[in-house]
Amino acid sequence: AVSTGAVPPGGHIDELLSRAYRHAERHREGAVADYIPILAQADPEAFGLCVADVEGGLHELGDTRTEFSIQSISKVFVYALLCDAYGHERVLDVVGVNNTGLAFNSVVAIELNDGHPMNPMVNAGAIATTALVAGDTPERRWTTVLDGLSRFAGRALEVDDEVYRSESATNHRNRAIAQLLGSYGRIEGDPLAVVDVYTRQCALRVDARDLAVMGATLADGGVNPLTGERVVSADVCRDSLAVLAASGLYERSGEWLFEIGLPGKSGVSGGLVTVAPGKAGIGAYAPRLDPAGNSVRGQIATAYLSRALGLNVFASD
Ligand code: GLN
């Protein structure tokens, strides 16, 4: 484990966590996602907050054991696995690292950039990333994704079949995105088979505690602080966190960085993972979203924690 010292000892952090929680809990703005029909059934009041430090310490409050589908948060972990397998240059070339300035499911962004997906945190780039996963059959590729994300979480993750079916039945746009990428020669093989693996990865069940541990693994240079297992290299963590800083909260990434000063990744079911390099991962779950698709309470609680714990990477003291 990377040595810390900067995250204060137990008692103090629990007090700050509780203040962050109470501060964010008052916020009821935003709306639960409903473009994937099953997501509309989420409890809008659900709220869980967890900090996992790189020494393996866990601090939790609220609904941290309520499971939800990981959705777009899967993108950063699949990306990290791919960077580990292919290296910095190839992934930079094929998927890119620049913010689109447009919504996560934008087709326009692809057209404006000669079919290049721009970055791995929007759907086009995530589908192009999943397309690179090695394996001769979709089933083998899926196993690689499932095993990799489970190692980040430190436990065997499972697909939520209801979410998978609900999204599969309605994801015309992701299929269109994949076929558009295919038409530009940016995806090898069957684009629809890639969307199927992508849809399964988005339907993996996690809780806020899992997100904190997965984030702490990126914070810890690729070693899961609970299992002690190395999942990816420290170089891959550095590259993946740079990508998150630029695009983790889509077109709101600038505002996020300005307020919080840490790499983070959101998902439409209301999950949010934030990484304080060398220190900790923060996992949040609260389903009401801002217009860009980012958890409202998650952002507010994380901003509080970043300030209270002095985690902003741009701060000099
Ligand atoms: N599975 C979702 C989709 O592809 C993920 C989007 C998200 O979480 N922003 O639309």
Q: Is the CB of 270 under 6 A from ligand 1?
A: no
Closest CA to 59 of 127, 4, 13: 13
Cβ 277 under 6 angstroms from ligand 1: no
Interacting residues of 232 by C-beta distance below 8 A, sequence separation 6+: 80, 81, 83, 84, 222, 240
Ligand 1 geometric centre to CA of 288 (Å): 15
pLDDT at 188 (0 to 100): 87
Extents of the domains making up the chain: 10-68+204-308, 72-202
Does residue 130's CB lie within 6 angstroms of at least one atom of ligand 1? no
Check pocket membership of 104 for ligand 1, CB cut-off 6 A.
yes
* 69 assigned to a ligand binding site: no
Q: Which residues contact 233 (CB under 8 A, 6 or more apart)?
A: 84, 221, 222
The residue ranges of DSSP E strands in the chain, in sequence order, are: 31-32, 48-53, 58-62, 68-69, 205-206, 264-266, 271-276, 280-285, 288-289
> What's residue 247's pLDDT?
96
Q: Pairing state of beta strands 48-53 and 68-69?
A: unpaired
In ligand 1, the atom with minimum distance to the C-alpha of 202 is: 1
- Position 8 scores a pLDDT of 66
pLDDT tens sequence across 198-250? 999 999 999 999 999 999 999 999 999 999 999 999 999 999 999 999 999 99
Q: How confident is the chain (317 residues) per 10-residue block, as mean pLDDT?
A: 54 92 98 97 98 96 98 98 94 94 94 94 97 93 98 98 97 97 94 97 98 98 98 98 97 96 98 98 98 97 96 92
Q: Which residues of 217-233 are buried (b: 16+ CB within 10 A; e: fewer)?
A: bbbbbbbbbbbeeebbe
Probe residue for ligand 1, chosen from 68, 78, 123, 160 as the CB with the greatest number of ligand atoms within 8 Å: 123
174 labelled ligand-binding: yes
Nearest atom within ligand 1 for CA of residue 199: 1
Nearest to 106 by CA among 292, 242, 295: 292
For residue 261, what are the contacts with CB-CB under 8 A and spacing of at least 6?
A: 306, 311, 312, 313, 314, 315
Is 213 annotated in a binding site? The answer is no
Task: For ligand 1, say whether the CB of 278 is within 6 Å of any of its atoms.
Answer: no
Rounded CA separation 245/281 (Å): 14
Q: How far is the CA of 123 from the centre of ligand 1 (A)?
A: 7
For residue 79, the model assigns a pLDDT of 97
On whether the CB atoms of residues 121 and 273 are closer than 8 A, the answer is no
Cα four-point dihedral sign 148, 99, 123, 292: positive
What pLDDT shows up at residue 6?
53
Q: How far is the CA of 21 from the centre of ligand 1 (A)?
A: 26
Q: In this structure, which topology does domain 72-202 adopt according to CATH?
A: Beta-lactamase (3.40.710)
Asked if 10-68+204-308 and 72-202 have one fold, the answer is yes
Nearest to 77 by CA among 278, 252, 214: 214
Q: How far is CA 108 from CA 76, 181, 182, in A?
A: 22, 12, 15
Closest CA to 310 of 278, 283, 284: 278
Torsional sign, CA 256, 260, 263, 267: negative
Is 295 near ligand 1, meaning CB less than 6 Å away? no
Pick the CATH number of 10-68+204-308 from 3.40.710.10, 3.40.50.10440, 3.40.50.720, 3.40.50.920: 3.40.710.10
Q: Which of 167, 159, 86, 174 is nearest to 125 (CA)?
A: 174
Residue 61 main-chain phi, psi, to 5 deg: -150, 140
pLDDT of residue 317: 76
**Burial tier of 243 (Cβ tally within 10 Å: 0-12, 13-18, 19+):** buried
